[in-house]
Chains A and B, each alone.
Chain A
Amino acid sequence: MPNRPQPDLPEHDTAAFWEGVKAGELRYQTCNDCKEVVFTPRAHCTACGSGKLTTKAAKGTGTVYTYSVVRQSRHPNFADLGAYSVAYVDLDEGFRMLSSIVGVNDPTTEIKIGMPVKVEFEKQDTGDYPIPVFRPV
């Protein structure tokens, strides 16, 4: 199993997101006042400053906006992964998140910009929180 770093909680802005992950939900927020989609999670709307946000669960489907494959990382938690991908994924609800594309044999050739992907909650060797990653659909 992978051993990605865990979120360091409690932390005020991101706690609800990670509780959602534990419950199998990919959470994002919308503003009650101006309808802006807010992500990464915060306690205020980044368009109008309102504190009235609603937390929702995304369907978990989206497309790869861009990606790279890390061939050299000195981070100890990633030493065993070999070449691994990082990507910005545009979710269908209109938010962009940093994640990783999994489930491909060779990330250097099989990941494409614009590729449809779906979230999965990847269990980790250690820690309570699975990590949301994306797999091509």
Chain B
Amino acid sequence: MANQRRDAAIVGIYEWPKRVDPSVSAMQMKAASIKAALDDAGLKWSDVDAIYDAGDGDGGGGGLGLAAYLGLKPTVIDTTQVGGSSYEFHAAHALRDIAAGKAKVAVLSYGSKSATRRVPIGTGGGAGGGTWSGNMESPYGTTLIANYAMVANRHMHDYGTTSEQLAHISVATRHHAMRNPEAVQAMTDLQFVGVNEITIDDVMSSRVIADPLHLLECCMVSDGGGAVIIASADVARNTKKKPVWIIGSGEATKYRENGSDITTSAGAQSAPLAFGEAQVSPSEIDIAMIYDSFTITVAVCLEDLGFCKKGEAGPFVSTSGIAFDEPGKLTLNTDGGGLSSNHPGMRGIFLLLEAARQLRGESTSQVPGAKLAVSHGNGGLLGGTHTGGTVILAAD
């Protein structure tokens, strides 16, 4: 703890409240979210000197295009695009750039219209042909969900994990979502069959999309956006809300290799880097914001982050108490997650937003006195090419 770094902190946050919103463009969502997050921090538009962007707003040009759209002239631009974990990478890079003295006020933003545009994220075709990887994959019609399902099947084969165990993740996440008015509105607007608490049986009796994953183990497809302001320590001491310090980060990649273990993700490499830098252990973490594209993503990442041993996520999620009002030590995805609050395609920014809300005491499923949180994004395909981005956050 003594040497835990205090170089940069999340000082402003904003999450776009609507999950189906035909009234704005994705770029408008980003700009308005940035303004709202700056207001939350008590900072000005012109204070921004660093932009991190995954090119998600469809405005073109990544960080450069966004700077022009916003009307800002940042001296740091980072257009890292590594899938849904891009925002964890951005937070890591912002920490480095601020610690190096290259920036003082960094902006991360997200905007996506996947629901309005009816993008079939999970069930559309895989990679197109014409590339070194697409030509080897497109003939087989692998959907995104089937890719994750292949991880689940191997996990079940190797460790005896069951669908009933994984269903606990869906149940706890929905429990949190029902306390979050924006998530309730999202499920209503997206015409969920039942906007209510769910049971293990509900998950098990929902239809199979790709064996062994059921509908209620899959994230929704929504619109959504938001922004995060990360500032240097001197700026953070004078902002409106209490700072949420970034105390460690790790970045890693993984892809299909001959003989490799599909049940281990890039998180196994990124998490030790982040925990090592933060000088905390997984057992000290209060809040885990883990990218829940599917139940299996959470299970694999909980293991890889060290919350349980490899292969033990099934018993862990079904017996340890992962909901905020259960006695267990670790609380998971308190905003309602991608499963029940929002998933516009790349959900990583929401992992940072809800972790920051928890450490400020502002969550709708607040864990009293939460001090340490981890945000872990898995970007790309869990059973194929993907990244793991781990960020450790601390309240004073």
In the complex with contacts A8-B129, A66-B151, A14-B136 CB distance below 8 A: yes
1/0 per position for A1-38, CB-CB distance to B under 8 A? Answer: 00011111101111001100000000000000000010
Q: How far is the CA of A81 from the CA of B139 in the complex (A)?
A: 13
Centre residue among B134, B207, B213 by max chain A CB count within 10 A = B134
- Which residue of A is nearest B148, CB measured? A68
B194 within 8 A of A: no
In the complex with contacts A65-B262, A96-B258, A5-B138 CB distance below 8 A: yes
Within 8 A of B (CB), among A43-88: 46, 65-75, 77-78, 81, 84, 86-88
In terms of DSSP, what is the predominant structure of the interface of chain A?
loop
In the complex with contacts A5-B129, A66-B157, A113-B154, A98-B140 CB distance below 8 A: yes
Q: How far is the CA of A7 from the CA of B131 in the complex (A)?
A: 9
Q: Are B154 and A65 in contact (CB under 8 A)?
A: yes
- Which residue of A is nearest B207, CB measured? A71
1/0 per position for B135-171, CB-CB distance to A under 8 A? Answer: 1111111110111011111100100000000000000
Residues of chain B with a CB closer than 8 A to A99's CB:
140
Q: Are A6 and B139 in contact (CB under 8 A)?
A: yes
B101 within 8 A of A: no
Residues of chain A with a CB closer than 8 A to B132's CB:
11-14, 40-42
Q: How far is the CA of A74 from the CA of B141 in the complex (A)?
A: 10
B124 within 8 A of A: yes
Q: Are B123 and A11 in contact (CB under 8 A)?
A: no
Q: How far is the CA of A69 from the CA of B150 in the complex (A)?
A: 9
Q: Are B256 and A96 in contact (CB under 8 A)?
A: yes
Q: How far is the CA of A7 from the CA of B132 in the complex (A)?
A: 10
In the complex with contacts A9-B135, A96-B258, A71-B208 CB distance below 8 A: yes
B197 within 8 A of A: no
Q: How far is the CA of A99 from the CA of B141 in the complex (A)?
A: 9
Q: How far is the CA of A64 from the CA of B70 in the complex (A)?
A: 51
Interface size of B by Cβ–Cβ distance < 8 Å? 44
- What interface size band does chain A fall in? 35 or more
Within 8 A of A (CB), among B199-221: 207-213
Within 8 A of A (CB), among B80-132: 120, 123-125, 128-132
Residues of chain B with a CB closer than 8 A to A72's CB:
123, 143, 145, 209-210
Q: Are A78 and B150 in contact (CB under 8 A)?
A: no
Centre residue among B130, B146, B256, B257 by max chain A CB count within 10 A = B146
Q: Are B141 and A81 in contact (CB under 8 A)?
A: yes
In the complex with contacts A39-B258, A71-B211, A81-B141, A7-B123 CB distance below 8 A: no
1/0 per position for A100-128, CB-CB distance to B under 8 A? Answer: 10000000100001100000000000000
Q: How far is the CA of A96 from the CA of B3 in the complex (A)?
A: 45
A97 within 8 A of B: yes
- Which residue of B is nearest A12, CB measured? B132
Q: How far is the CA of A114 from the CA of B157 in the complex (A)?
A: 10
Known pairs A42-B132, A96-B258, A108-B211. 11 more at Cβ < 8 A?
A5-B139, A13-B132, A66-B153, A66-B157, A70-B210, A72-B123, A81-B141, A86-B146, A86-B150, A88-B262, A96-B259
Interface residues of A (CB under 8 A from B): 4-9, 11-14, 17-18, 37, 39-42, 46, 65-75, 77-78, 81, 84, 86-88, 90, 94-100, 108, 113-114, 131
